[in-house]
């Protein structure tokens, strides 16, 4: 999973499929989008507003669905390419 996080977090090109590049599988979400099949949990949001910030657009969302799917190790990014995890099953 660490390699997938690095690929998705450092590649910003619009012409690549990050799911394919990172070898991640999708599944249909409840509210008309997709999510990571192997995710431990998910939060689905509906975009309610957008704000321009220089060359970026910040999307403001309203949570419409949240679920914890299974227990497992969680990966946390500390800085750039430095990560840590939780214990298994938490």
Residue 11: predicted pLDDT: 79
pTM exceeds 0.85 = no
Q: Over the stretch 2-47, which tens digit does the pLDDT of each residue have?
A: 888 888 878 777 788 888 999 999 998 887 788 899 999 999 999 9
Burial (0-12, 13-18, 19+ Cβ within 10 Å), 58: exposed
The neighbouring-strand residues paired with 32 are none
Question: Is position 48 within any domain?
Answer: yes
66: domain CATH number? 2.30.110.10
pLDDT > 70? residue 90: no
Question: Is position 90 within any domain?
Answer: no
Side-chain-side CA neighbours of residue 22 (13 Å): 20
Q: Mean per-residue pLDDT for 39-68?
A: 93
Question: Is position 57 within any domain?
Answer: yes
Residue 25: predicted pLDDT: 94
Q: How many domains does the chain have?
A: 1
* Residue range(s) defining the domain that contains residue 32: 2-85
Question: Is position 32 within any domain?
Answer: yes
């Amino acid at each position: 999973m660490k390699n997938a996080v690095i690929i998705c977090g450092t590649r910003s090109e619009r012409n690549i499929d990050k799911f394919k590049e990172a070898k991640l599988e999708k599944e249909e979400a409840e509210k008309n989008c997709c999510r990571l099949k192997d995710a431990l949990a998910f939060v689905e949001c509906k975009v309610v507003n957008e704000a321009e910030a220089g060359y970026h657009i910040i999307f403001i969302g309203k949570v419409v669905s949240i679920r914890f799917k299974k227990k497992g190790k969680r990966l946390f990014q500390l800085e750039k390419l430095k990560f840590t995890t939780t214990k298994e099953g938490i």
